Every structure is written in structure tokens, then in C-alpha cells.
């Protein structure tokens, strides 16, 4: 059985995405393999009106989902920094949820602490520890850049650990 998992790190300025394949095989000693399919970011410019930025996210998420064709989407839950940025992230997250509903895609959500716990065994791990775990789990020679893409891969990996 092979599943495609799309991890998303919501944001208005930068929305990180990371797609992995999770494959189980009863004939392999290890039983499962996880590989990187794609990762990157969807960016919008702060010079643009918020509505235009949300339209870019809407269109680009549709294209991303059409290209990746995930079986499951994993999303990082909203984490409160400053109220002004939280509202913008929540608006971007609303667009994301709408696109997932339009594609009838199942999703799971994880808090930052749950993602850290899943990848490092420690819910208060720092960003570098999580990024190193992503590179190790996906057998990558270097940590994925930018950070938002590495974070999205971490979300996808957290979901794969529950399969």
C-alpha cells in the first residue's frame, strides 16, 4: 500500500508544503519506506491587498493538490504569536480548509508540540532538532530550505507515523 501525504505549514506570506510517499510492504524487513515527493513554498507579497494574496493561495493550492494528488493532508495547527499575524494566518488557513473541502480530502491536524514529539521524542525540541530529524527520516543530504518547507515535511512525517 502506498499513500501520498501532503504536509502544510499555513501562512499568508509563506505557506510551506511538503509531500511524501509512505509505502508498506509485508515482504520488506523494515516494512515501511518513506520518501520525499516534493517540497517548497507558496509565497505572496506584502505589497498586495490581502484579498489578492488569498486568491493566490487558493489558486496555487488547487494546482498543488492536482499535481501531488495526496491521499491525506496534514496541517500544523494555528499557533498564536501576535494577534495581527494570527488573524492573517487564520485567513490563509480558511482558504486552505476550503480548498481541501473542494477536493474532498481527509486531513489531520497537529500542534507544534505534537510534531516535535513525533519527530524527536521531545515536545519542546528546538527548530534545528526537528529539521535534523526531517533530514534523517527522509534520508536527505541536507536540511530542506526554506524553513517553512522543512516544517511542512515535518507535519507530513508526523502523519505518516500514525499510519
Q: Long-range contacts: 123-128, Cβ < 8 Å, 24+?
A: none
Residue 163's pLDDT is 87
Q: Structurally, how many domains does the chain consist of?
A: 1
* 76 is known as an active-site residue: yes
pLDDT(83) > 80: no
CATH code where residue 36 lies: 3.30.420.10
132 is catalytic: no
At residue 124, the pLDDT reads 94
Q: Which of 2, 9, 49, 59 is catalytic?
A: 9
Q: How far is CA 65 from CA 46, 55, 111, 146, in A?
A: 24, 15, 23, 20
DSSP state of 77: P
> Is 126 among the catalytic positions?
no
What pLDDT score was predicted for residue 154? 98
- The tens digit of pLDDT for each residue in 1-22 reads 899 999 999 999 999 999 999 9
Nearest to 116 by CA among 87, 150, 89, 66: 150
Question: What pTM does this model have?
Answer: 0.95
| 119: containing domain | 2-160
Amino acid at each position: 500500500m502506498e499513500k501520498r501525504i501532503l504536509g502544510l505549514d499555513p501562512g499568508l506570506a509563506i505557506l510551506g508544503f511538503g509531500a511524501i510517499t509512505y509505502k508498506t510492504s509485508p515482504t520488506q524487513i523494515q516494512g515501511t519506506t518513506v520518501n520525499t515527493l516534493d517540497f517548497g513554498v507558496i509565497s505572496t507579497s506584502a505589497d498586495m491587498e490581502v484579498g489578492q494574496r488569498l486568491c493566490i493561495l487558493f489558486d496555487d493550492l488547487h494546482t498543488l493538490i492536482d499535481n501531488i494528488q495526496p491521499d491525506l493532508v496534514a496541517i500544523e495547527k494555528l499557533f498564536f504569536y501576535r494577534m495581527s499575524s494570527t488573524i492573517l494566518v487564520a485567513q490563509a488557513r480558511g482558504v486552505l480548509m476550503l480548498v481541501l473541502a473542494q477536493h474532498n480530502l481527509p486531513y489531520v491536524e497537529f500542534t507544534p508540540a505534537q510534531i516535535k514529539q513525533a519527530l524527536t521524542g521531545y515536545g519542546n525540541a528546538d527548530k534545528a532538532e526537528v529539521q535534523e530529524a526531517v533530514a534523517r527520516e527522509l534520508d536527505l543530504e541536507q536540511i530542506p530550505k526554506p524553513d517553512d518547507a522543512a516544517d511542512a515535511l515535518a507535519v507530513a512525517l508526523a502523519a505518516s507515523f500514525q499510519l
